[in-house]
Amino acid sequence: MDEFVDVFDEDGNYLKSCSRKDVHKNGLWHKASGVIILNSKKQILLQQRSKLKEKNAGLWDMSASGHIPSGQTPDTSLIREIEEELGLVTDISQLKLLGIYKRHEKHATGGGYLIENEFDYIYILESDVDVSKLKLQVEEVDDVKFVSVKDFLNLLKNGEVVKRVRVWDDMINYINKK
């Protein structure tokens, strides 16, 4: 069953709701949210996207993320995603908004193209998560690990991380200010 998401114009004004499949097929603007978990050692919790995913399969990415279902807010949707993907229970008060990013990408898929026009609400969660206690959602996540900024930059340089230039720059600036 295809979930429904809210659709917006390029300025972020609500237009309607429609299926996620139609949103990607027609390149309609919609919202997603994600979280970058940082521990007290200034390490980044990365998730390796499932090799079965339609886009960015097998690449390392932020700790958890997902499309925002119709009628939900970015932060409440993200709380659900964190629990679904990582088995980690948290609450909104622990999230800090890093920024809202406008993203346009076109991905080749087995059946044509997937057009991603998104407003991405990206948050920071500072927490010393015990990776061994996380319960990974097998359909979404193959692995997780904490990495230093130096190791993250090497992964990025080698093309092993999802391209999110502005997000990664802002994340590194945030870490450097700590």
The string of pLDDT tens digits covering residues 33-61 is: 999 999 999 999 999 999 988 888 899 99
Q: What are the pLDDT digits (tens) for 119-171?
A: 999 999 999 999 999 999 999 999 999 999 999 999 999 999 999 999 999 99
131 and 145 Cβ atoms separated by less than 8 Å: yes
Domains and CATH numbers, the chain: 4-177 (3.90.79.10)
Report the alpha-carbon distance of residue 118 to residue 14 in Å, rounded. Answer: 13
- Alpha carbon distances (Å) from 130 to 39, 59, 127, 176: 10, 22, 9, 23
- Report the half-sphere exposure of 152 (CA within 13 A, side-chain side): 26
User: Given this model, what pLDDT does residue 92 score?
Assistant: 94
Q: How is residue 26 written in tokens?
A: 């027609």
Residue type, 151: D
- CA-to-CA separations, 156 to 125, 153, 159, 168, 169, in angstroms, rounded: 21, 5, 5, 9, 11
pLDDT-based confidence at residue 112 (cuts at 50, 70, 90): confident
> Given this model, what pLDDT does residue 178 score?
82
pTM above 0.85, yes or no: yes
Spatial CA neighbour of 123 closest among 150, 92, 153: 92
For residues 126, 41, 56, 76, the Cα torsion angle rounded to the nearest 10 degrees is -10
Across the strands, what pairs with 37?
45, 125
